[in-house]
Amino acid sequence: MTTIDIGAALRELREASGKQAKVVARSATMSPSKLSKIENGSITPSLMDVERLLTALDVSEEIKAQLAEAARMAATEATAWRIYRRTGLHKHQEAIRAIEAQTTLMRLFQPVCIPGLLQSPEYVRAVLSRHGYTDAILEKTMGARVRRQGVLYDTARTFRFVITESVLRWRLIQPRMMAAQLDKLISMSRMPNVNIGIVPLSAPMVDLPSSSFVLFDQRLVIVEVPHAEITTTEFRDVEIYADKFEGFEQVAVRGEDMRSLVAGIRDDFLREQETG
């Protein structure tokens, strides 16, 4: 099945459902004009586009599987960060938010920075400000990221984070702000549906922590590299990252041990602030 066939199939499914295009587009967090272009075959839908549209259309698992298989003809795609910056990073944040809202189990490995869903406002600003955005764009993108964090309070969903200890020590913001960020991690780790594991620097190296990645159930993986975001639904690729996550999670500390480790690093930042 070609990309044009996918677009036509999505249009037929929407028309059969009796739903207006603007209603489906809103549910899938995209503009009606983009949906129109996808249905007409003038643009190629991303894997996330197809996922969100199929969910918005509430199709059967059989039909969803058929279209997903067709989409796997181009299952892996890389989108340069410069493209997201040009089209609006806040729009991309909203797209990710839609995927997160459709996910029952999210697993995230992060060896670079505090995961976005767990970031304090000061940390969010520090991360995004490194891209040279104008103040207006920065505020809009920050707002989109903070809104994403609301999904953590849906106890029907489970979130498993694995973070390397080095991330907790990166000095992206002032010591007192880093202490507050680590306090937020400790607080969030007490939520019933949020599991945060920290891989200590003293833990055996089970794999190379080469990049951050997130698994959405067992259907989709997003990998972040310096120049681009890579998305795949290919089963074998998903399995690779599921195995990597499991390996890092096995050597991570959780629960009270995790909170004790984070609190110790937080206290180091507080002492530094007091003596600075």
Instruction: With cut-offs at 50, 70 and 90, classify the pLDDT of residue 223.
Output: very high
Residue 4: which pLDDT band, with cuts at 50, 70 and 90?
A: very low
Mean pLDDT in residue range 22-45:
87
Tens-digit pLDDT profile for residues 185-194: 999 999 999 9
Q: How confident is the model at residue 233 (pLDDT cuts 50, 70, 90)?
A: confident
Q: Which domains occur in the chain, in start order?
A: 3-74 (1.10.260.40), 77-275 (3.30.870.10)
Amino acid 69: pLDDT: 66
Mean pLDDT value across the chain: 88
User: How far, rounded to the nearest angstrom, does the alpha carbon of residue 189 sit from its chain's CA centroid?
Assistant: 18
Residue 276: what pLDDT?
59
pLDDT in tens, 129-175: 887 777 888 888 888 888 899 999 999 999 999 999 999 999 999 99
Contacts 24+ apart (CB under 8 A), 184-190: 184/118, 184/119, 184/120, 185/114, 185/118, 185/262, 186/259, 186/262, 186/263, 186/266, 188/118, 188/152, 189/255, 189/258, 189/259, 189/262
